[in-house]
Structure 1
């Protein structure tokens, strides 16, 4: 056999064409099936959990970020003594397992040529700073962002956790904005907050809100192929990011004369940056917002109301050349009920899907003349 560019060695595929190490497809499929079988249960035995952990520990050789999402499962396995005893699979366990599924499907493999050493964020000219009462800012090689804190930002009772949340929030925003430029880098964030350092190094936190951010950072690192860790330092501060977090724009431009220029309006012009707006918006919506937050929101982040929707609908209909007076909010319910009737959905199911409390839904089902004619023919033939 001649030389090969792709071989399997000790259960890991080494590919010199793609310059990566990855799990074989059959192993990925087997682990995914195992995870799905566990997720579908409310409980599992300690033996099953340990078997799964064995697979995940092996997979973490090439899916490095996954290491952060086994510690809770390991702790869970210690709750009972005997192998045949059952453990309860709570939400935290399911979320970690779902993350593993995402890793296996979308990020199976590591680049063989990461930087040998970690580069500090200061050496990269990457600075972030949080002012707990004013706002936050970040700077990276001439690019920058700053803003006041979102009003909906959760308030954590523990002051140390609260500051850790704010510091981590900035790291995540920076990663979302500039992570594409960090490919194959190993980044060391120097931070004066010990709680933040511990969370970034472990990849986990007991705080639910912080854990949402940590998962977002981990996934961003996976997608853009970089690694992050943190180190504690005493009170090191950068004047550039400090000025940004306090929205001191004149001072910022004086300290960073080569930074990208923006419009003269401050700081509203910074919020007009589409990339920043969308990134921070997505960060809040997908990583921080709680499950009780409204699904649909209008521009000012308020919940979409029925009246607002109907006004916009009528405006659009009129622009399209339709008479808006022929349509109202019930038109959607009527159309849905009619479509369900044509699809032969049972009456009681239409009532449930439409959330009708009475039998008034029957009036919304429009029956075509063809259907009436067919029913009459059926009666005469019988």
Structure 2
């Protein structure tokens, strides 16, 4: 599954835990482990030149200044390389103990730029990194390197957010804050499902991990029937009489209340049912949870309540355009706020039922015309639901 695992290190608590978690994965998948440290010698050189004017007068003579520059460059480069080797040595020792092949890498440059470039050029299957590094302070939610790598990497990224419990700490996140979990879900992988190929890819990744590590799988799906109420409430007071007639406000509002809100629950339940079928086909029992509200908030609340071993989600979801890069809004929010380790996946999976329906069902001109009455932002969801209903009824 993960043949090469990449771990950027900086000797921080979260980085060290990333090494431990990565090697645990590596043992199961017999992975090649790559450790990386990026040092910024060029940045130090730039800063030294900026500060040259502050040197004592005897060092400002051009010949002496040139000598100092060479000494500084040599010491900084050699020193940072030695530090990098020291940071990578613990990972090498752990990999040796686990019988895993280890490759060290040291690079000079901007941290996230070099890491993302290396990921793209080397094609690692998985990157494991701590949510924050040595620059963390009390109110840090996510480190700049982690945030930028998670946003821009084009491969799976596992963000380590949980530290081993320390003496006197109330939970396992290493910060001593009071635990919020109401139940112990450490034997469960929680996976977000919204009907997109990305979410079904996340599901299959979660299933593979569950079978490898002996975990349970819970799929969570969230629909939002409340959004249009806020939209219509804001629109009703600004529409002119002519605009109201064209928009057909009352009809649109009634359409949402009578059809879309009720249908959304059924559609997202069908996503969970399809997920259950996919899990059953590979011999995994799936727990299903359907909630209503803002997607990331409900997933976050549920994760805090159950405290899963890991949360697995696709980088983007059902409302994302094919041309979009980066993270979807729900993934972005969960990256910052999720209390457990978070796996952002790139795998795409197309359920057999959806593929069969799209290939075998043809729309009449009348059906296409009526379908245009469905608001554009939910047409993809509605089309999938109709396909599934047609197949289930034998069409």
Q: So what's the TM-score if we normalise by structure 2?
A: 0.24
Q: So what's the TM-score if we normalise by structure 1?
A: 0.24
Relative contact order, higher structure (CA 8 A, sep 6+) = 2
Q: Which has more radius of gyration? A: 1
